[in-house]
Amino acid sequence: MECIESVRMTPSNPPVAATPTVRVPSKFGQFYALTKPRVVQLIVFCALIGMVLAVPGIPTWPEVALALIACAGIWLVAAAAAAFNCLVEQQIDAKMRRTAWRPTARGDLSNPLTLAFSAGLCAVGSWILYVWVNPLTMWLTFATFVGYAIVYTVILKPLTPQNIVIGGASGAMPPVLGWVAMTGSVSPEALILFLIIFLWTPPHFWALALYRVEDYRKAGLPMLPVTHGNEFTRLQVFLYTLVLFAACLMPFVFKMSGWLYLVVAVILSIGFSWHAWRLWRNYSDALARKTFRFSLIHLSVLFAALLLDHYLL
């Protein structure tokens, strides 16, 4: 969305500024924006990690095909949850600079259309998982949809500052979904991956909430910086990074990975804890942004190292 200003010139008239024109995204672009593509890409990436780690050695072509089908089904259901979240939070999104551009917040898409879009994605994705993958993956993915779209968005988010901690269970499910897609069962290794994302979510999200606190206050959401203040939230971010540090060592301890992963995990965890320590001791919005951005690097590189290490063992 961008504003364009044009100037009309004639030999006899001075320049006249034309009325700014707002370029509205196409309907496809609006629906695509509802799916929160960057978030869904990270979800599918984490699910793919679970799939790869569940298969010893180089996967066969049938396993590759199964993984691709599972990724498509998980993507569709995750996109449906994102669209439903936009529908439920349209009034809140309209009050926040970070989300005011969303089509539902702007009124570009009607509620019935958005709901139908979300339901359609969820139905198709669930059907793909049930028929082409296995029923357990479908039910766990659907439970994740309900956990995020209903339990977190509708119930927890407006009621408790611990919303992101409790609701983080839904966000931590992708590697479990990937593991179950390939094996048909939940194993301790999948739960370790779940634990890493579960503990990563609060410091990641609270770093964002610290420099967006006025948005959340204006929207009336009880986020931790709003209810407990800046200093308390900063301490929680730091403490969570320490617990996360220990969790990131578990794949090596339980022989899911080797020394390559261990070295990368230690470096990344020290970096995250160092950012959180600086944030706690000497706050600034700029440092909160850096901490938030580093958290994204932390999880992405950590799981990439886990993937690379898997084939080097």
Domain boundaries, the chain: 33-186, 190-313
Query: What residues contact 207, with CB distance under 8 A and at least 6 apart?
Result: 237, 276, 279, 288, 289, 291, 292, 295
Say how many Å lie between the first and final Cα of the chain, rounded. 48
How much is the pTM? 0.84
The mean per-residue pLDDT over the stretch 8-27 comes to: 47
Structure tokens belonging to residue 218: 């204006």
Is residue 273's pLDDT more than 70?
yes
Torsion of CA 263, 265, 268, 272, to 10 degrees: -140
Lowest mean pLDDT among 66-75, 101-110, 222-231, 247-256: 101-110
Q: Is the confidence at residue 12, as pLDDT, over 80?
A: no
Q: What is the pLDDT of residue 18?
A: 40
Percent of all residues in the chain with a pLDDT value above 90, rounded to a whole number: 60
* 236: confidence class by pLDDT, cuts 50, 70, 90: very high
CATH of 33-186, one of 3.20.20.80, 1.10.150.300, 3.30.70.2190, 1.10.357.140: 1.10.357.140
List C-alpha distances in Å: 274 to 226, 232, 238: 24, 17, 9
